[in-house]
C-alpha cells in the first residue's frame, strides 16, 4: 500500500475530528429508526470510524455535515435593535405649525391650556 493513501486517510480523519468539534457534533441519545442510516456519535467516534472504515465513514460525514451544521450550530443572535427615543422628531413643517398654533391663541380661538396641549402633541411629548 502506498503512503499517500495512508496520509489521505489519516489527514481526512483528523480533519473530520476538528471539523466535528468546531461544529459541536455530539451524541444526542436518539434511538435508531428502522430503515434509516443512524449515526449518533461525537467527534472521536467519527474520527475512529473514518480511520477504520474510511471508504464509508468519510463520505457519510461529508453528506451529513450540512445537517450537523443546522442541528448543532447555535442560532445567530439577532442584530441589536437600533435605539429609538421615545420623543418623536418634529415634522418638517414644525415652524409653520407652531406659528399657526400661536396665531390661533393670539386670536383667542384657543385658550392657554389647549395651546399647551397641542404644542406638546406637536413636539411629541
Q: What is the pLDDT of residue 88?
A: 58
Q: What is the pLDDT of residue 62?
A: 86
Q: What is the pLDDT of residue 38?
A: 60
Q: How far apart are CA 46 and CA 81, in angstroms?
A: 40
Residue ranges covered by each domain of the chain: 3-72, 82-125
Question: Which spans in the chain are helix H?
Answer: 3-23, 43-52, 54-72, 94-106, 112-123
Q: What is the pLDDT of residue 37?
A: 62
The number of residues in the chain equals: 125
* Structure-block grid coordinates of residue 100: 399657526
CB 27, CB 40: distance < 8 Å: yes
For 72, the 3-state DSSP assignment is helix
Q: How far apart are CA 87 and CA 117, in angstroms?
A: 15
Crossing angle for the helix pair 112-123 and 94-106, to the nearest 10 degrees: 180
With a cut of 70, which residues of the chain have pLDDT below it?
1, 32-38, 74-92
Q: How far apart are CA 47 and CA 6, in angstroms?
A: 14
Amino acid at each position: 500500500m502506498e503512503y499517500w493513501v495512508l496520509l489521505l486517510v489519516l489527514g481526512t480523519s483528523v480533519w473530520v475530528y476538528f471539523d466535528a468539534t468546531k461544529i459541536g457534533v455530539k451524541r444526542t441519545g436518539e434511538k435508531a429508526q428502522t430503515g434509516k442510516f443512524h449515526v449518533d456519535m461525537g467527534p472521536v467516534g467519527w474520527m475512529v470510524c473514518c480511520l477504520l472504515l474510511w471508504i464509508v465513514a468519510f463520505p457519510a460525514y461529508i453528506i451529513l455535515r450540512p445537517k450537523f451544521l443546522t442541528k448543532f450550530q447555535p442560532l445567530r443572535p439577532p442584530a441589536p435593535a437600533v435605539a429609538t427615543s421615545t420623543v418623536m422628531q418634529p415634522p418638517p413643517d414644525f415652524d409653520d405649525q407652531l406659528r399657526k398654533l400661536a396665531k390661533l391663541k393670539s386670536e383667542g380661538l384657543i385658550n392657554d391650556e389647549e395651546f399647551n396641549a397641542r404644542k406638546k402633541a406637536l413636539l411629541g411629548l
